[in-house]
C-alpha cells in the first residue's frame, strides 16, 4: 500500500522519563480529479470523520485485510475517499483463484463477480421503459418459443419479476455446491455447454414461483437472454448503448458462456471508479449528472424488499431481504440502526448504498476462499465515519 507514510521515524523515544512509541500514520489525500466525470472532494467537507478510516488504513498497513484491493467512498455525489492496495488478480485456474500480483490502481480492471447481476437488473428496467418488455409480470415463456415443450403449467407461471427476485422456483444447486468448491456438478459451471438456455429451462420447478428465495445464477442468465430476445441486441451491446455510454464508461470486459451469450450472472471486469458511477445512479434517482440513465421508478422498485428468507450463513453475510438483485439489510452500531442496500460479488466485490446519508462504498478484493471482512469493515469503520449519535 503506497498511501501510508510516517511523519516521524518509527522507533522508541525517551520523553520526560517515559518511553513513547511513534506509530505509522495514514496520510489522507483527496481523490485525484481526472477527466472521467467524477467530481472529487474532501470527506471532511461532507460530514465524515477521517479518524475511523485512518484507523482502517493503519490496520491494513499492519497486515490486516490483506486481500482488500480497493476502497472507495462517495458522499453527496463526490468521490471523497479512494485507496488501492497490492494483491493478486483473479484467476479461475490459479491456486486460491490467484493470478498475477499487481499494484491495483484507479485504471486497473477488476473481476466484479456477481455485481454483474445488478447491471442485468438495471438493463431489464431500461428495456421495460423503452417498451421492449411489457412489464415485470410478463411470463418468461413468451421469450423462448423455441423451448415451448419445456414449459409445463407451473413453469409457465414464472415471470420476469420472479427472475429478478430469484424466486422462480427452478431447481439450482449453487448454494449447496458453491462455485468456489470447483465442483463441476455446480450448475453454474455446467452452463458452459452448447445450449445453456435449454439446460436452465429443463430444470424442474421445486417451489411455486414467488414463494421461495434461492440464490440462482440460472434465473439471472435467463434475464440476460430475455434482454437479448426482446431488444434484438446481445446484452453487452445493449448495455453499452443505454447504460455505459451515458455514464462515460468506455471500457468493460464482459464474460461469455457462449460467443453470443453473455454471462449475465457475473464475472464482468471494470474499474472501481466506473462501478461507483453505476452505484451512484441508485442514490440519485437513476441520474448521472443531468442524464436520466435508469428510470426513476425502476430505481425505487429495485431497492425495495420483495422476498425474505431465513438461511443460516446467508442471514449473517447479507441479511434476509432481497429486491431486484439487491439486498436490503440493517446494521446496528452503538444502538443506532443504519439501513443499507447492497450488491455483493464473490471475493469481496461490493456496492453498499447508504440512502439516508447519500453515501456509497465500493470495495473490491480477493477473498475467494474463506470469510470476507465486509461487515466488520462497515460496522467498525464506515458507519463510525458518519459520526452518528443516539
Q: b/e for 287-301, b at 16 or more Cβ within 10 A?
A: bbeeeebbbeebbeb
pLDDT value for 390: 62
Is residue 351 in some structural domain?
Answer: yes
Do residues 167 and 209 touch, judged by C-beta distance below 8 A? yes
Q: Is residue 299 part of a domain?
A: no
Is 283 within the bounds of a domain? Answer: no
Q: What's the pLDDT score for residue 173?
A: 97
Q: How many domains does the chain have?
A: 2
Quote the domain boundaries for residue 98: 4-107+326-386
Do 95 and 143 belong to one domain?
no
Same domain, residue pair 164 and 46? no
Q: Are residues 162 and 256 in the same domain?
A: yes
- Tell me which of 219, 240, 267 is where a domain ends: 267
Angle between helices 116-129 and 272-280 (to 10 degrees): 40
Evaluate whether residue 216 is within a structural domain: yes
Tell me: do 44 and 93 sit in the same domain: yes
Give the pLDDT score at 19: 31
pLDDT for residue 25: 84
Burial class of residue 56, CB neighbours in 10 A (0-12, 13-18, 19+): buried
Residue ending a domain, choose from 246, 267, 288: 267
Would 229 be classed as within a structural domain? Answer: yes
27 and 85 housed in the same domain: yes
The alpha carbon dihedral of 294, 300, 306, 311 has a sign of positive
Q: In terms of domains, do 123 and 92 share one?
A: no
* Residue at 275 is within a domain: no
Q: Is residue 74 domain-shared with residue 214, that is, in the same domain?
A: no
One domain for residues 155 and 208: yes
Cα–Cα distance, 289 to 220 (Å, whole number):
29
Q: Are residues 247 and 103 in the same domain?
A: no
The last residue of a domain, from among 252, 267, 282: 267
Identify the segments of the chain with pLDDT beneath 70. Answer: 1-24, 390
- DSSP letter (8 states) at residue 379: I
User: At 144, which CATH number?
Assistant: 3.40.710.10
**Is residue 22 located within the same domain as residue 129?**
no
Query: Does 290 fall in a domain?
Result: no
- Same domain membership, residue 176 and residue 37: no
Residue 128 shares a structural domain with residue 263? yes
Whole-model pTM: value is: 0.93
Give domain status of residue 355, yes or no: yes
Measured CA angle at 26 (ends 269, 389), to 5 deg: 90
Could you tell me where the DSSP H helices lie in 137-205?
A: 160-164, 187-190, 196-201
Amino acid at each position: 500500500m503506497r498511501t501510508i507514510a510516517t511523519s516521524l521515524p518509527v522507533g522508541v523515544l525517551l520523553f520526560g522519563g517515559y518511553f513513547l512509541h511513534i506509530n505509522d500514520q495514514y496520510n489522507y489525500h483527496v481523490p485525484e480529479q481526472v477527466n472521467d466525470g467524477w467530481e472529487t472532494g474532501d470527506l471532511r467537507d461532507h460530514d465524515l470523520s477521517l479518524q475511523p478510516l485512518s484507523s482502517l488504513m493503519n490496520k491494513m498497513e499492519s497486515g490486516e485485510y490483506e486481500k482488500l484491493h480497493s476502497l472507495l467512498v462517495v458522499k453527496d455525489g463526490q468521490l471523497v475517499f479512494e485507496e488501492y492496495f497490492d494483491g493478486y488478480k483473479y484467476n479461475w485456474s490459479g491456486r486460491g483463484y490467484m493470478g498475477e500480483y499487481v499494484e491495483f490502481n484507479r485504471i486497473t480492471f477488476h473481476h466484479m463477480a456477481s455485481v454483474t447481476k445488478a447491471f442485468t437488473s438495471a438493463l431489464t428496467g431500461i428495456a421495460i421503459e423503452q417498451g421492449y418488455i411489457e412489464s415485470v409480470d410478463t411470463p418468461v415463456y413468451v421469450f423462448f418459443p423455441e423451448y415451448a415443450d419445456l414449459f409445463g403449467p407451473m413453469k409457465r407461471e414464472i415471470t420476469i419479476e420472479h427472475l429478478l427476485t430469484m424466486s422462480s422456483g427452478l431447481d439450482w444447486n449453487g448454494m449447496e455446491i458453491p462455485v468456489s468448491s470447483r465442483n463441476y456438478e455446480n450448475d453454474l459451471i455446467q452452463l458452459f455447454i452448447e445450449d445453456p438456455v435449454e439446460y436452465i429451462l429443463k430444470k424442474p420447478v421445486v417451489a411455486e414461483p414467488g414463494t421461495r428465495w434461492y440464490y440462482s445464477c440460472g434465473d439471472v442468465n435467463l434475464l440476460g437472454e430475455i434482454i437479448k430476445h426482446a431488444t434484438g441486441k446481445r446484452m453487452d451491446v445493449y448495455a453499452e448503448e443505454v447504460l455505459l455510454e451515458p455514464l462515460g464508461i468506455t471500457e468493460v470486459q464482459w464474460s461469455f458462456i457462449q460467443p453470443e451469450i453473455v454471462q449475465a450472472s457475473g464475472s464482468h471486469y471494470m474499474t472501481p471508479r466506473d462501478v461507483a458511477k453505476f452505484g451512484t445512479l441508485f442514490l440519485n434517482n437513476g441520474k448521472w449528472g443531468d442524464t436520466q440513465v435508469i428510470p426513476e421508478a425502476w430505481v425505487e422498485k429495485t431497492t425495495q424488499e420483495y422476498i425474505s428468507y431465513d438461511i443460516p450463513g446467508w442471514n449473517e453475510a447479507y441479511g434476509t431481504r432481497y429486491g431486484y438483485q439487491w439486498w436490503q439489510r440493517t446494521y446496528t452500531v452503538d444502538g443506532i440502526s443504519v439501513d443499507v442496500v447492497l450488491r455483493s460479488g464473490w471475493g469481496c466485490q461490493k456496492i453498499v448504498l447508504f440512502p439516508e446519508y447519500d453515501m456509497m462504498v465500493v470495495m473490491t478484493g480477493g477473498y475467494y476462499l474463506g470469510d470476507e471482512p465486509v461487515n466488520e469493515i462497515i460496522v467498525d469503520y464506515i458507519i463510525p465515519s458518519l459520526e452518528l449519535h443516539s
